[in-house]
Amino acid sequence: MSADRENSGNEAEVRGGKSAVATSPGRLVELYGKMVLVRAFEDACQRAFRQGKIGGYLHVYTGQEAVATGFLEAFRKGDRVITGYRDHAHALLLGCDPGEVMAELFGKRTGLVKGKGGSMHLFDVERGFMGGYGIVGGHIPLGVGIAYALRYEGTDGICQLYLGDGAINNGAFHEAANLAGLWGRDGMCPCFFIVENNQYGMGTSVERATAMTDLAAKFNSYAIGNEKVDGMDLEAVIECAERVAEQVRETGRPYAVEAVTYRIAPHGAADFFEKYRTKEEVEKWRARDPIGILEKKLLERDALDEEKIEEIKDEARQRVSEAVKYADESEEPPMEELYTDVYAGEDEYMGTR
Amino acid sequence: MAETKTYREALREAMVHEMDRDESVVLLGEDIGVYGGTHLITDGLYDQYGPKRVIDTPISENGFTGAAIGMAMMGMRPIVEMMTWNFSFLAADQIIQNAAKVRYFSGGQVKVPLVIRGPNGGGVQLSAQHTHSLESFYGHFPGLKVVAPVTPNDAKGMMLTAIRDDNPVIFLEAGALYGTRGEVEDGDNAVPFGKARVAREGSDVTLIAYGRQVNLCLRAADTLEEEDGVSAEVIDLRSLRPFDEDAIVESVKKTHRAVAVQEQWRWFGVASEVAAIIQDKAFDYLDAPVERVSGAEVPAPYARNLELAAFPSERAVANAARRVLYMEEK
């Protein structure tokens, strides 16, 4: 449990890199490239949404890149990841092809889930990605069950369970956290809760949505160790992720980290007016853009120069434009797909067509 | 070989059969372990299989049902006990939004081999919040299978099938009949889903039901035979999704008259679906409009006399049969 809680609220309480080995400059540059790719992908999504090529809802990850990038550095083969509807980054960072992800958003047969899920339901079970889910908090119990199953099978895998600040007020969260705490006593719940506190559940701020705003501390009620990390600082996230993942893997007990971050982009691509927050506030957080922070650090350390930065950004834009092209040119799902994947087994469909 | 066993024992036997065979089968639910199960279905299993396979949960249906779905997505075969199906409303988000849909919205990447079981319906004076029949509620959702065995033999055989199924199965037990006895086949008597059972052969009218209403229909059929010389056929649907349309159509082609019986409310119920299927597939064989016998459109009352009045009675079924036979005015 976090020893010191005097900084409750949204100020990150960053632990020093006690045991972690510092990430090498080369690796940080690679991760910088991944964050830039995620940003470029999300920018392209927003454009495509406005062009009417993406339907439904679209929730982008802009501003939060360091969170998934950093925590997934601790991902090992055999682990699982589950998250809510802001799931593009998780899929991309787990190695899903940007073209397939974009094709899913475009509703094409080449999409990650054959055009049946869209933005909110990306899955890649082979890569350990157990999916994105559209009901706030509804996936949290699933993640706890996944963690139980990993131990039941006798593996040392862990489940990285991402949830937003909005989900933490939901009954499913409290019920699942209680189960995780209980099962963890017997070493049966290697669940790594990652609260992506981006300050808003849709348009309602954390302060206006939750009675006690220290989200990490909510886990105290369930005997789950917890801490906060500055979710804008990739290096801090990586340090935390590796240390915590190791501990969860070893003990089979859950642990929670509140990553304090900010959704620079609107909630959804249709959230045009942003009446719930000020331009000044967004600007303030933009100054802490995780990509900008990392860029600055890497420049200072001579791990990057302006030329290399442009090269990385160009490469990302190139990959994303190829992804858009692939999505654009792919076919729509065939009509036969309407009735497949409802049931597993011989009786693929039951009922009236 | 077959032995006489209670419905309760038959269910337990099926779970033991599968737990012995397959380590991925685990149980979750409120008081199913140390306490022995509120309805004693899981009595003794905690000692037999230990706390990692017989998991006592807190009173939090949404949480443990969701966790079971997560386990199932990983290849385990959890069986969740709803202390009563009424409590499943608390887990409805998990059952409907995740269990039923995740295979589809993952593009077929996951399976959910999950059984959710427990007593359905009423009949023991538990009043409004503990008396509810959920067959049409869950039967509405593609992605779920919904079954409702009434005999002990079916309770065992259909539970075996449910546990082996790769899909989420809503297993609606005839809760009021846990103590009733019947012949149960030894060993593996797996009963396939989607096959109705002719519970009684007859030639003049078809009575169609599922769950404990089947027994009501059997008694009504005896009355009709004794009092009116009418030969009623009784069809036990057993499984509501998948649904055995052919069995109903075949029977109606023979009898030309049908009564659909359900404990639940009339509006939007299974009996309405039965009536629609008959008019769709056997219209030309009908000699009378299909009658529906349903529960009264009220929350279940507590008082014994009112509760009895709120559910279909043997008399109501017999009278409906007489009406479709034009022996009585509508």
Best of B106, B144, B246 to disrupt the A interface (most A CBs within 10 Å) is B106
B198 contacts chain A (CB < 8 A) = no
pLDDT of residue A352: 55
* B130 is a catalytic site residue: yes
What value does the mean pLDDT take over residues B306-328?
96
Q: pTM, whole model, 2 decimals?
A: 0.95
Residue in B closest to A112 by C-alpha = B107
pLDDT of residue B49: 98
What value does the mean pLDDT take over residues B225-236?
98
Residue A100 has pLDDT above 90, yes or no: yes
Query: Residues spanned by CATH 3.40.50.920 within chain B?
Result: 197-325
| Chain B residues in contact with A83 (beta carbon < 8 A) | none
* Min Cα separation B107/chain A (Å): 4
Sign of CA dihedral B212, B218, B219, B223: positive
Contact A255, A248 (CB under 8 A): yes
Q: Which two tokens stand for residue B243?
A: 């649904």
pLDDT of residue A350: 59
Query: Helix B270-281 to helix B245-255 angle, to the nearest 10 degrees?
Result: 60
Give the helix ranges, DSSP H, for A51-167: 65-71, 88-93, 98-105, 140-152
Catalytic residue among B9, B18, B61, B307: B61
* B17 is a catalytic site residue: no
Radius of gyration of chain B (CA): 20
* Min Cα separation B201/chain A (Å): 27
Residue in B closest to A80 by C-alpha = B74
Interchain contact, A123 vs B107, CB within 8 Å: yes
pLDDT of residue B123: 87
Best of A122, A123, A129, A148 to disrupt the B interface (most B CBs within 10 Å) is A148
Q: Answer left, alpha or beta for residue B121, where phi above 0 means left and psi between -120 and 50 means alpha.
A: left
Catalytic residue among B3, B130, B140, B250: B130
Interchain contact, A146 vs B97, CB within 8 Å: no
Contact B170, B145 (CB under 8 A): yes
Q: State the DSSP H helix or E strand holding residue A204, giving kind and residue range, or none if neither.
A: strand A204-205
Mean pLDDT of chain A: 92
Q: How far apart are CA A47 and CA A105, in angstroms?
A: 12
What value does the mean pLDDT take over residues B32-53?
96
A336 contacts chain B (CB < 8 A) = no
Q: pLDDT band at residue B138, thresholds of 50, 70 and 90? A: very high
Q: How far apart are CA A335 and CA A340, in angstroms?
A: 10
Q: Which two tokens stand for residue A270?
A: 């249709």
Per-residue pLDDT tens for A309-345? Answer: 999 999 999 999 999 999 999 999 999 999 999 999 8
Per-residue pLDDT tens for A137-152? Answer: 999 999 999 999 999 9
Specify the residue for token string 């495509």.
Answer: A48
Q: Which two tokens stand for residue A261?
A: 């971050």
Q: How far apart are CA A292 and CA A253, in angstroms?
A: 35
Whole-Å CA distances, B279 to A178, B205, B251? 51, 15, 13
What value does the mean pLDDT take over residues A185-193?
98
* Best CATH choice for the domain B197-325 from the list 3.40.190.10, 3.40.50.920, 3.40.50.970, 3.20.20.450: 3.40.50.920
Structure ipTM over 0.90, yes or no: yes
- Residue A236 backbone dihedrals phi, psi, to 5 degrees: -65, -40
CATH number for the domain whose boundaries are A25-331: 3.40.50.970
B60 contacts chain A (CB < 8 A) = yes
Long-range contacts, stretch B241-246, CB < 8 angstroms, 24+ apart: B241/A350, B241/A351, B241/B139, B241/B144, B241/B145, B241/B146, B242/A347, B242/A350, B242/A351, B242/B145, B242/B193, B242/B194, B243/A350, B243/B194, B243/B273, B243/B277, B244/B194, B244/B195, B244/B196, B245/B277, B245/B281
What value does the mean pLDDT take over residues B50-70?
98
Query: Residues spanned by CATH 3.40.50.970 within chain B?
Result: 3-184
Q: pLDDT band at residue A348, thresholds of 50, 70 and 90? A: low
pLDDT of residue A268: 75
Whole-Å CA distances, A83 to A192, A240, B40, B69, B130? 12, 19, 38, 15, 35
Per-residue pLDDT tens for A16-28? Answer: 444 456 889 999 9
CA geometry: angle B181, B186, B192, nearest 5 deg: 85
pLDDT of residue A11: 44
Per-residue pLDDT tens for A43-71? Answer: 999 999 999 999 999 999 999 999 999 99
pLDDT of residue A113: 98
What value does the mean pLDDT take over residues B208-233?
98
Looking at domain B3-184, its CATH class is alpha beta
**Which member of A80, A124, A178 has the closest CB to residue B63?**
A178
What value does the mean pLDDT take over residues A173-180?
98
Percent with pLDDT over 90 in chain A: 88
